[in-house]
Structure 1
Amino acid sequence: MRIRIIAVGRAKRGPEQSLYDVYRKRIAWPLELIEVEEKRPLPTDQRILREDELIRAKIPDGAVIVAMDETGDDLTSRKLAARFQDWQDRGVGDVAFLIGGADGLSDGLKSAAALKIRFGRVTWPHMLVRPMLAEQIYRCRQILDGHPYHRD
């Protein structure tokens, strides 16, 4: 199973990117971070639609789409790991996690998602969501492998 994190915005070198790299290197599944960006200053509604186009162009055909969204479910790590197990059992080839820009994902992308999740009720900086998501993907792999990294 291949995993893509498709995110709006370009990360600069810094602690967030370094932390993402730490977890990316630990993850047994192939993981790719794809960044998209619209540089033209557009009104909010037009920018969201343009970001939608850029994101959709990077989603592999047949991929399970997971939207990172403030209205998503608060999943425990074990419940998220169970989703990964289900995807593996069903032979899913690609999973695409989507991280929107400052104004979030389009309604169309949220509707296309098989799963919407959030990291709690607070708002996190988009650049910090990347390493947090990478850590959770790593944690899910460890849970599925029965590794003591995750304890109840």
Structure 2
Amino acid sequence: MIHYCFLINRLGKCRMEQWYDIVSEKDQAKILRETTALVLGRTSKLCNFIEYRGLKIVYKRYASLFFIIAIDPTDNEFITLEIIQQYVESLDTYFGSVCELDLVFSFHKAYYLLYELIMSGEIMETSKKVIYQAMMSQDLNEAVDLENVPEV
């Protein structure tokens, strides 16, 4: 099971966070701060797995962003790396070549892509084509909703 997912930049600024466990805001901030320090403190020559608070932290860096997922100790780290890869490829398919600014200005789209891929801490969809079609359907629904807004 996935417990949480973060996207942080090289400076440690959190760009996205998704929690699949019930955690107080105080603990969320502490976990985010400690996880960020652990990941940013590692060199690129070290493996992408860390044990932290009884969980496995799996991370991967793409350009200026770190994609971080915490999983159960018994879960497979390589499948988690594939989940990260799938998410990055889905972001790239939707945004073109995704960058940090896409996540800042279209964060709702990035979250929607994540929701299509992972639900309640479990992988739900593995097909990039199905995820992309869901995104296009969502965009179409938004466009229809905007056309039906009454003028003021």
- Specify the TM-score bucket, using the shorter chain as the normaliser: 0.3 to 0.5
Question: Normalised by the size of structure 1, how large is the TM-score?
Answer: 0.32
Flag the structure with larger Rg: 2
Higher relative contact order (CA 8 A, sep 6+): 1
